[in-house]
A and B are shown apart, each in its own frame.
Chain A
């Protein structure tokens, strides 16, 4: 395990002192131009920012780097096992131009489609219905496994909240999960702000109460963590579908606390991550009253896509035989659709019976 104690250099290092960096393991995206293995320091990565951090951001990074040393052992253990927490600032000419982070452990890697190459398993994979796994020849995660991943994610959120940190960037790509033990690992912790920070935009992660131009705060994190957990638990990606699918979870208290977070009429009413964790743990918790926005109507389910013959269907000149089209696809809708359908059939049977009896 790579721990801060394992980092052999000071908490602020000149980039030049690291020597030539290896090629980036990540495409430049978000706030960084690349993430490079640090030569001679296995398990450590140099993340280089697009532009030097301003004074406040640099001070916050320094504070973050020093924070675990003052944490109680349980929190420090969570930092090590579940987060890529920065251990050093990278300097150039006295300016902070990046940081050093631990590389996620190997247990978060697996051979995955489409090419079978080994890669980190983004939590994105879990936000899919079971049929999506089966189609790729993968074993779908069980409910308990989805719960376990969610538990780790929420535990990190609780940790951050305890120290007044706002992450803002909760999304499909910023957490990995392990197919071996279904633990989770949250990356890019160096971007955390104290109490508030810029509202990092990710499509389909918009907090309805936090405009893009407004800073993110603890309530923004509560919404995004709840959305991530809802997606992981239900396998539904569309927010409205996930909200409905929560009603089918075998855990009514969890359903309600997640809906409280996602539908709260005012952000301040969103339950804290600690409350969500208590529910996941089955511990006693205090549920405050929440004024919810109405649950939006469940939209129509997308029909199975039709895949047609591949040559011109009408009398085209000398149409050659086409490769057979794949079998029709049943859209990935979880069990609850089947339940609705069954309910509909039962209702129709009852109605038919009533009509029949009335006609007697």
Chain B
């Protein structure tokens, strides 16, 4: 492909929204579903954003699973509702994101897209209940992995600040308690959406410097 042809490829930011749906999230289940619905509606009706920021939604509790495979949200007719139950298994969620990245990115390239480094938005309200999550995370973001994602974390409720700061590679936000947990959850998803809109306009990844109701946490790198 000549340089001129390269410009014809549409840039694509693979975006993984990884949501904690463990038991502790149950009180916020309705807010979570309402906010996800709004997120879908906004993206599905903003083709300039959705064609740039393709999205996959992964839910995790004791085990993770793919709620929506990587796609332009324009093509998803509606957002399924999430039910919260189980433990908070970070490690298996990171493993699944890594596996999906290895499937999704080649597929996007095969569709003729110029694929940017993926980004994972990680929302949780609790500490990990599995002991091996750090190894899984190290593997996910290993600098030797060409497809390692950027990571932005949003924590609220009992989410431990020190863990979120270790997971994030770009930005970590922890709810500052100035608003209720429901509002914090909604704000986190709006912050993510704003980031995607700004990124689509700029054609590159733009991370919000701040999120209303959240304090920014300094990043702590594992290595």
Q: List 29 A-B contacts (CB under 8 A).
A: A127-B47, A128-B47, A128-B74, A135-B77, A203-B202, A237-B10, A239-B8, A243-B8, A293-B4, A302-B111, A305-B75, A306-B66, A306-B68, A306-B69, A308-B66, A308-B80, A310-B81, A310-B82, A310-B83, A311-B83, A317-B23, A317-B86, A320-B85, A322-B81, A323-B80, A326-B76, A326-B77, A326-B78, A332-B74
B83 near A296 (CB under 8 angstroms)? no
A237 near B80 (CB under 8 angstroms)? no
Q: Which residue from A240, A319, A326 sits with its C-beta under 8 Å from B85?
A: A319
A35 to B147, alpha carbons, bound, how many Å?
A: 42
A128 to B75, alpha carbons, bound, how many Å?
A: 11
Report how many A-B pairs have Cβ atoms within 8 Å: 153
A29 to B200, alpha carbons, bound, how many Å?
A: 13
Which 10 A-B residue pairs are closest in the complex by CB-CB distance? A299-B112, A305-B71, A208-B4, A203-B203, A208-B7, A323-B81, A239-B8, A114-B41, A300-B110, A306-B69
B75 near A238 (CB under 8 angstroms)? no
Q: Which residue from B42, B72, B113, B201 sits with its C-beta under 8 Å from A114?
A: B42
A316 near B112 (CB under 8 angstroms)? no
Beyond A302-B71, A317-B23, list 12 extra A-B contacts (CB 8 Å): A237-B10, A243-B8, A296-B8, A296-B112, A302-B111, A304-B75, A306-B68, A309-B80, A313-B65, A316-B85, A317-B85, A326-B76
Q: Which residues of A contact B42 (CB under 8 A)?
A: 114
Interface membership of B139, Cβ < 8 A: no
Q: Which residues of B contact A24 (CB under 8 A)?
A: none
Instruction: Output the residue of A173, A208, A316 with the most chain B CB within 10 A.
Output: A316
Q: Which residues of B contact A300 (CB under 8 A)?
A: 107, 110-112
Q: Which residues of B contact A320 (CB under 8 A)?
A: 83, 85
A329 near B75 (CB under 8 angstroms)? yes
Interface membership of A331, Cβ < 8 A: yes
Interface membership of B210, Cβ < 8 A: no
Q: Which residues of B contact A308 (CB under 8 A)?
A: 65-69, 80
Chain A: CB-nearest residue to B64: A312
Q: How far is the CB of B157 from chain A (nearest CB, A)?
A: 19
A312 near B111 (CB under 8 angstroms)? no
A residues with CB within 8 A of B = 29, 113-114, 124, 127-128, 132, 135, 172-173, 201, 203-204, 206-209, 237-241, 243, 293, 296, 298-314, 316-323, 325-327, 329, 331-332
- A307 and B10 contact, Cβ closer than 8 Å, known pairs A113-B45, A203-B52, A296-B112: no
B61 near A316 (CB under 8 angstroms)? yes
Chain A: CB-nearest residue to B199: A203
Q: Which residue from A114, A172, A204, A304 sits with its C-beta under 8 Å from B11?
A: A204
A314 near B75 (CB under 8 angstroms)? no
B61 near A312 (CB under 8 angstroms)? yes
Interface membership of B101, Cβ < 8 A: no
- A237 and B82 contact, Cβ closer than 8 Å, known pairs A208-B7, A312-B61: no
Chain B: CB-nearest residue to A300: B110
Q: Which residues of A contact B203 (CB under 8 A)?
A: 201, 203-204
Q: Which residues of A contact B45 (CB under 8 A)?
A: 113-114
Q: Which residues of B contact A306 (CB under 8 A)?
A: 66, 68-69
Q: How far is the CB of A194 from chain B (nearest CB, A)?
A: 26
Which chain B residues numbered 3 to 18 have a C-beta less than 8 Å away from chain A?
Answer: 3-11
Q: How far is the CB of A86 from chain B (nearest CB, A)?
A: 24
- A206 and B112 contact, Cβ closer than 8 Å, known pairs A114-B42, A323-B81, A329-B77: no
- A314 and B1 contact, Cβ closer than 8 Å, known pairs A299-B111, A326-B78: no
